[in-house]
Amino acid sequence: MQAAPTHSGNNGSSPALTAAPTDSIMLVGTVYDAELDDVLPGVNIAAWRGGKIIAATTSDMDGHFHLALANADCEVRVTYTGFEQMVIDPKNCLTDMAIKLKPKSTKMNDVVVTGFFNKSKVSFTGSVTQLSGADLKQVTGVNIISAIAALTPGLEIVVNSAQGSNPNHVPELVMRGMSSFSNEGQSVNQPTIILDGTEISMQELYDLDMNEVESINVLKDAAATALYGSKASNGVIVITRKPIQNSTLHLTYNFTGNVQIPQLGDYQLLTPMQKLEYERLAGLYNAHGAINAVTGLPKQYEMDELYNQRYKTIMAGQNSDWLAQPSRSSFSHDHSLRVYGGASNLRYELTGRFANTHGVMKDDLRRRYGLGFKLDYYIANSLQISNRTNYSELSTKDTPYGSFAQYAQMNPYDAMYNEDGTVNNNLAWDLNNPLHDATLGSYSKAGTKSLSNSTDIRWDINRMFRLTGHFNVTSVSGWSDTFTSPFARRYKNETDLSKRGSLQKGNNRSNSYNGNIVGTFNKLFKDESLISASAGWEINHSDSRSEYMQAIGFYNDAMSFVGNAAGYPTNSTPSGTQGKTADVGAFLSANYSFRNRYFVDGTWRLTGSSQFGENNRWGNFWSAGAGWNVMNEGFMSAVKDKFDVFKLRASMGYTGKVSFSPFQAMTMYRYSNTYEYKNGIGAVPLTIGNVDLAWERTMNYNVGLDFSMFDRRLNIVVDAYIRNTTDLLLNKAMAPSTGITQAMGNLGELQNKGIEFQVDGYIFRTRDFNWKVGTTGYLNSNRITKINDALKEMNKRNEEMATAYLEPLAQYAEGESVTALKLVRSGGIDPATGKEVYIKLNGERTFTYDATDRVLIGDTQPKYNGTANTSIFWKGFTLYALFDFRLGGWIYNTTRATKVEGSNPKYNADVRVFDERWKQPGDLALYKNIADASRPQQTDRFAEMENTLNLGTLNISYEFGKDICAKLHARNLRAGINFTDLFRISSVKIERGTDYLYSKGFEINLSATF
Amino acid sequence: MNIKNILSHITHPIEHMSPLTARKRLPLGRTHGGRTLLCALLIGLSSCNSFLDITPDGQAKRDEMLQTKSGIEDALYGVYAQLRQSNLYGCELSIRGVEVLAQNMTCPGNDGIEMLQAYDYEKTDIRSWAESIWTLMYNNISNTNSVLQTDLVKDATAFPFTTYKGEALALRAFMHFDLVRLFTPQYTLNQQASGIPYQTEFSLKTPDFESLQKNYEHILTDLLEAEQLLKVEPVHQYEMTAFMNDRQTHLNLYAVWGTLARVYLTMGNKEKALAYADSVITKSPYCLKEKTEVINDVAGVLSQKETLFGVYFGDFYSTTSELLQKRTFYQSLDPRDDFMDYYERESLPLDYRTSAYFTQIEAGGQYFYRLSKFTDIYELNGIAGSRPAEQILGINLMRIPEMYYIAAECLLESDPARAKTYYNKVREHRGLNTLGASDQLTQELINLEFFKEYFGEGQQFYNYKRQNLPIVSFDGKKTFSASDKIYVIPIPNSEYANRY
């Protein structure tokens, strides 16, 4: 933003100095667009003195302006929407100046991309986190979702300890706390994801090529998301792909190689000898004086023989490494190629991608293929049309080894294979060898193909009005095959050969289109006040269906072709689902900024959706916000040059979320051949539609501070929010005489409150060396503000089912979090009997467990989530480290409850199984009698507060110098290595990755532009 | 063009007729301006509402479907079809559950059956058995109300809408009546007893419990209105529309009379019961079949001569074959041990029903009686293709002999001679000797006839209950004295728990 009045060679007129000391000056000049080298009409040129405008003019159709000034004691600001402001000191002004304004939009930090139109960041009142593609790649080059979550305060990945590092498990996100009762599945908390104007699914985001991403705007509060109306409650993630630069032919190649090794460190299992000893102590070899009816000899003889036999095997060195069987070290690779170029009128881009990902459990894979083509056509200052076609393919295969937990419970003194190499199916205690099924021809595969085409039009009608249009058509088809071998253990007792083996086939198709048209109006006044307003409408339509069928009776493992099946299972019919949704929306959004100091903005959105109930077909959503650019105040003028941004903002607004099927809102009859009735076919209502059913509503309040000073050496962003979600959808039980036993209603109310912040700064910053540190933090507290009978009913059901689940089920109560952990207090183990003592609500001690004595232990969600990062740059080298920590979340330690205390002595257990077990009267023990294999009741003995620290990323990269690049005929060359999940410290020792292992490893990144 | 379409949609005359839909439309007024603006923008779409009105394949919106005759008929077919769910008349309320309660059928080793035989209504399995009957019946009642609540049916003045309404009202009463018979005490013993909720709405509003007396008032109101509405039945019975065809599969006028006779008899109103039973006997096109026609007359099909009402069920054979014809352990049903003793076997002429209703099969060198009354012989012999076209596969829910028994019972004291003629008529048609002039007809004799005729048809338990008779266990070893303990199945807890 420096005033650099340059001389215009084009005009050919020679410059002349103005007569400096004279009172009046005439400024004369022409304003140009620095990039297009074209004149700019309508530009404001204003002379300011002491915060007031003393003279002002506007450039004419040819970009010329004249401005008469009484004296030179002022500053002249040249401002124009979409361009960077230029300040001129009239004292050293030239006549016939050529002022070249640089377009702003090339700098992503200056605008907020809403997905419909761009808002100026300076006067934005909402809460947004902006990330660039390079930021993401610094965190990981493999998983875009974890990269976004790591860099955005307030956005969390749902911890799924069972799925570990499964590459075929799509992570789930939660923004600013749970807004639904978690029993309905996490997907209800998912943010909306917009890729270049079109909504995409979480899975599509997961499979997106990170190299194509230019920027990501994570919109959090109502002022930012209200444009999305009924989809906005959980926040919106807006992704923009790279624009095509005006250049000669460029070619960029990116390579990411990923080596991962399984993390088995969470598993601390017994050695063979320990295991045998545990079995003995648990009484497995005690016949209790029984007599064998056939031989008439005491059974103890057989028991002793069995014990001795196993003892001998162990002494001979038998120690099977079951954990190693399903796991492996994996190598994955991802190649991405981008070719682009063009002149000012026509630009083109071709992208290609192939990524082959392998997880750390044997034989799984996820392959992604992508091909894209984009054409941009420009007419300078008037029209831009672009069309992009993308084709992508995905194929996945799950590991045939099944759940990892199966291997962790196998006994190490059992041989895995027989001497001839076949699977040993003769294991101790008649356990099933999981390797048996794993080595058969069973498989589970799936794939999708997707073709998408979008057209974008931007028409700059004149300097104030602009019209943009977006239209997208996407077609996706997918398939899935799950084959179970006829030799699988589950068919052991099936005598009918034509019923062994099964193939489940599924396929799905979906077609969707969406479009929007947005008109924007921008007017900049001479005093730098700005009005901008947008109006737009959009339509979305999607139609999807899926079909499933099953065939059984395969005589051979290797012939899983459906044509080889013997028939269909009895009592099974083909099944399918279909979903059609449509919505229409319109919005108005306006922003007024007074002299770049005070600003207000407001958005109104109307949505009509096929999913809403008949009485609520149209929904209104809105937001209002205000902000104050403290930096531009008069009293700040003395220190103004120290500040880059100093802004306070506040917003409130009302957004929604739909999470029910259309038939729940209006009564639909379903026809089916099961209702055939002699002379006609019957139809039956699916349910009694609740015509009053409405979207879940969230009232959002947000206040924030944006602060940046010393030429962006120190940056602070703080946001505090309250989100009150009302009308939460819940199924409530109905008296059967109503006609149905469950009805959906808008019943619950929840509140999330929180603070999130981001602080970063440079400790050193020179041309060759800089060191930057930063931290983000996020605190959220969740509270149920209103409970009702439906939830009480759910509590009761959860209580009844409690014994069937490993982890405690939710018990909802007003004033508590939806993720509260509630357990009965334990008085420890009675030294006399080895039984557990429970503490009742009134403090009384008892041996009888009563679920109603539960008290609140804590919240399973961490109190505090944060990250700390540092990056050091030195002569082309960059070192980046990202730590993340989660503090204060409570966890029910299932490993201690099932593998230390409640362990079945026939299975392998945690090494702690010996520690602190009660063995004889008088023992002061932490755990029950070692001979007691029953699963303990859910008490606070197994609750622990979890604090973890994880070094998620350690990245070293090098940008090659110009000379090396030149030698290799490259424009740009970059290489890096990225260590992921290098170490993790946790206060809780628990087996993680029970279904699929966690992994750690490193990525190698290579990027070259030619 | 677009706006006009929307307006015409909004001011659709039918929608205005209903206060319900009018109320529903009201809140839209607020955003009407916005919608018009929006719709005007939607080039190429006929209107917003049609864009947003999405109906998946195989589904229809209630409001649209019930605007047409065929839609209403489909909805009624849906109700009839749901009657044959296995927890309703498809099994439990016909051949299994209620027959076990009557100690007619048994299955050694089957826990559920044994609990039912012991009237252990508090057992979890039995509670859920009762709950499924209760729940599915009310669900189907609610589906019936959906039809009754649509404007075309509610305000029906002309055929065929009057017929739709008549059948729907009769269905509602029929289903409530059977719930009353299962879940409340016998009316004649305790008129002040509390009853069940009588559901008359298709809405999320839970109906209140009411007295048994009120229940019967409601049942009668619905049936009597149905009777009036269906009176035109004989005029239209030869119309060849699909709906007016095969009237035995509908709750037709004669079935409504029959139901009224049943209801009045249960209420102890013998005068009215007799009148309706007699109407059926004299005015309906149905009559007693000849003794030679007894064989296979109800073998998985509706009796062409005798059935007043039965549910069409194309796949009834799979139930009867598994449960009755075959003898699989822990599942299939055996008739009570002494059942043959009730039939007159020693003296000639033979009861034609013994050979028509029962067969013996051999298993492991032993012979077992099977109730083969309902076994479709065409399916059994694998010649389903040669079934005569006029046969209707299904379950008989009301046959004309019952009307003779009702008439006989009602006249037993007032006019024993006339009672005897009704009684003798059925015996004659079953190939048996009739009572002579000097023989006295007793209620016991009528009950015995009822037992022999209706074995396995799900009516026996109600007949015992109505007369407050003790029940002798299937093996003859125990007699359960008549009390609410055996005759009143407790109403499921969920009905009490979820009332708001």
Report the alpha-carbon distance of residue B458 to residue B254 in Å, rounded.
20
Instruction: Tell me the average pLDDT across B461-478.
Output: 93
Q: How far is B197 from chain A (nearest CA, A)?
A: 7
Q: Which residue has the tokens 């009978």?
A: A789
User: What pLDDT is attached to residue A337?
Assistant: 94
- The answer to whether the Cβ–Cβ distance between A685 and B146 falls below 8 Å is yes
DSSP-derived 3-state class of residue B355: helix
Q: What's the whole-number mean pLDDT along residues A691-699? A: 84
Of A42-56, A730-744, B109-123, which gets the smallest average pLDDT?
A: A42-56
Average pLDDT of span A554-581: 83
Q: B408-442 pLDDT, tens per residue?
A: 999 999 999 999 999 999 999 988 888 888 889 99
Q: How far is A545 from chain B (nearest CA, A)?
A: 10
Give residue A410's pLDDT band: very low, low, confident or very high (50, 70, 90). Answer: very high
Cβ contact A584–B141 (<8 Å): no
pLDDT confidence bin for B401, thresholds 50/70/90: very high
Chain B residues close to A741, C-beta within 8 Å: 135, 494
pLDDT level of residue A638 (50, 70, 90 thresholds): confident
CA atoms within 13 A on the CB side of A950: 18
Secondary structure of A173-224 in the HEC alphabet? EEECCCCCCHHHCHHHHCCEEEECCEEECHHHHHCCCHHHEEEEEEECCHHH
Taking residues A623-648, report their average pLDDT. Answer: 86
Residues of A in contact with B138 (CB under 8 A): 736-739
Distance CA B272, CA B276 (A): 6
**Stretch A786-814: mean pLDDT:** 80
pLDDT at position A614: 66
Tell me the three-class secondary structure of A973-989, residue by residue.
EEEEEEEEEEEEEECCC
pLDDT, residue B225, reads 95
pLDDT at position A672, please?
A: 84
Instruction: Give the percent of chain A with pLDDT over 90.
Output: 37
Residues of B in contact with A604 (CB under 8 A): none
**Which of B124, B129, B392, B498 should one mutate to test binding to chain A, selecting the residue with the greatest count of A CBs within 10 A?**
B498
Q: How far is CA A827 from CA A844, A915, A941, in A?
A: 10, 19, 9
Are the beta carbons of B143 and A743 separated by less than 8 Å?
Answer: no
Average pLDDT over residues A538-552: 91
pLDDT value, residue A36: 67
pLDDT at A627: 93
Across the interface, whether the CB atoms of B52 and A617 are under 8 A apart is answered: yes
pLDDT (0 to 100) of residue B277: 95
What the block records as the tokens of B417 is: 């001679």
- The per-residue pLDDT for range A467-495, each reduced to its tens digit, is 999 999 999 999 999 999 999 888 888 88
Minimum CA–CA partner of A545 in chain B: B56
For B74, name the nearest residue in chain A, comparing CA atoms only: A682
CA distance A233 to chain B (A): 22
Q: If pLDDT is split at 50, 70 and 90, which confidence band does A448 have?
A: very high
Q: What's at A869, amino acid-wise? A: N
What secondary structure letter does DSSP report for A616?
A: G
Paired tokens of B345: 């076997």
Say whether A736 and B131 touch across the interface (CB within 8 A). Answer: yes
DSSP secondary structure of A801-839: HGGG-SSPPP---TTS-TTEEEEEEEEEE-TTT-PEEEE
Contact at CB, B139 and A663, closer than 8 angstroms: no
Residue of A577, A583, A677, A681 to mutate, testing the B interface (most B Cβ within 10 Å of its Cβ): A677
Tell whether the model's pLDDT for residue B89 goes beyond 60.
Answer: yes
The whole-angstrom separation of Cα B333 and Cα A552 is: 31
In tens, the pLDDT along A911-970 reads 888 777 888 888 888 888 877 877 888 888 899 999 999 998 899 999 888 888 888 888
**Of all residues in chain A, what percent carry a pLDDT higher than 70?**
95
Smallest CA–CA distance from A617 into chain B, residue: B28
More confident residue, B498 or B141: B141
Cα–Cα distance, A988 to A1005 (Å, whole number): 34
CA neighbor of A361 nearest in space, from A1005, A997, A1006: A997
Q: Which residue of A has its CA nearest to B43?
A: A539
Testing the interface with B: which of A610, A678, A734 to mutate, by most B Cβ within 10 A? A678
B201 to chain A: closest CA residue: A738
**What confidence tier does A5 reach under pLDDT thresholds 50, 70, 90?**
very low
pLDDT > 50? residue A327: yes
pLDDT of B459 above 90: yes
CB A819 within 8 A of CB A860: yes
pLDDT higher than 70, residue A515:
yes
DSSP readout, A661-701?
A: -HHHHS-EEEEEEEEEETTEEEEEESS---TT---EEEEEE
- Closest CB from A586, A618, A620 relative to B28: A618
Across residues A891-909, what is the average pLDDT?
Answer: 86
- Angle, nearest 10°, between helix axes B161-183 and B124-148? 160
Q: For residue B333, which amino acid is it?
A: L
Specify the higher pLDDT residue, A15 or A790. Answer: A790
Tell me which of A241 and B48 has the higher pLDDT: A241
Residue in B31, B138, B314 closest to A736 by CB: B138
Residues of B in contact with A613 (CB under 8 A): none
Between A and B, how many CB-CB pairs are < 8 A? 201
- pTM score, two decimals? 0.80
Res. A261: pLDDT tops 50: yes
Any idea which of A150-164, A793-807, B381-395 has the lowest mean pLDDT? A793-807
CA atoms within 13 A on the CB side of A999: 25
Residues A733-745 as b or e (16 or more Cβ within 10 Å = b) = bbbbbbbbbebbb
Whether the ω angle into residue A167 lies within 30 degrees of 0, i.e. cis, is no
Closest chain A CA to residue B59: A670
B33 confidence band (pLDDT: 50, 70, 90): very low
Task: Give the pLDDT of residue B44.
Answer: 38
- Which of B77, B203, B498 is closest, CB to CB, to A682? B77
Task: Tell me whether residues B35 and A614 touch, CB distance under 8 A.
Answer: no
pLDDT at residue B49 in the model:
63
Residues 6+ apart with CB under 8 A from B208: B197
B77 to chain A: which residues are within 8 Å by CB? 675, 677, 680-683
pLDDT at A94: 64
CA–CA separation, B315 and B379 (whole Å): 10
pLDDT of residue A22: 55
Of B63, B143, B145, the CB nearest to A684: B143
Task: Considering only the beta carbons, identify the residue of B65, B138, B494 that sits closest to A669.
Answer: B65
Question: Are A682 and B81 within 8 A, CB to CB?
Answer: yes
Using an 8 Å Cβ cutoff, are A267 and A408 in contact? yes
Q: Which residues of B touch A685 (CB under 8 A)?
A: 62, 142-143, 146, 202
Instruction: Name the β-bridge partners of A866.
Output: A777, A885
> Of B35, B78, B196, which is closest to A684 when you measure between CB atoms?
B78
At residue A93, the pLDDT reads 67
Confidence of residue A2 (pLDDT cuts 50, 70, 90): very low
Interior angle at CA A194, CA A192 and CA A197, nearest 5: 140
pLDDT band at A805 (very low <50, low <70, confident <90, very high): confident
Per-residue pLDDT at A242 exceeds 60: yes
Q: Under a CB-based contact definition with an 8 Å cutoff, are residues A762 and A771 in contact?
A: yes
B38–A683 C-beta distance less than 8 A: no
Any idea which of A928-937, B7-16, B46-55 has the lowest mean pLDDT? Answer: B7-16
Q: Which residues of B touch A584 (CB under 8 A)?
A: 38, 42, 48, 51-52
**Would you call A668 and B61 a contact, using CB atoms and an 8 Å cutoff?**
yes
Q: Taking CA atoms, what residue in B is nearest to A544?
A: B56
- Mean pLDDT, residues A977-984: 89
The pLDDT tens digits of the residues spanning A143-184 come to 899 899 989 998 988 888 888 889 998 888 888 888 877 544
Nearest Cα residue in chain B from A684: B78
State the average pLDDT for chain B.
86
Cβ contact, residue pair A584, B61, below 8 Å: no
Q: Do A738 and B500 touch (CB under 8 A)?
A: no
In the DSSP assignment, the letter for residue A271 is P
Complex ipTM: 0.85
d(CA B412, CA A152): 88
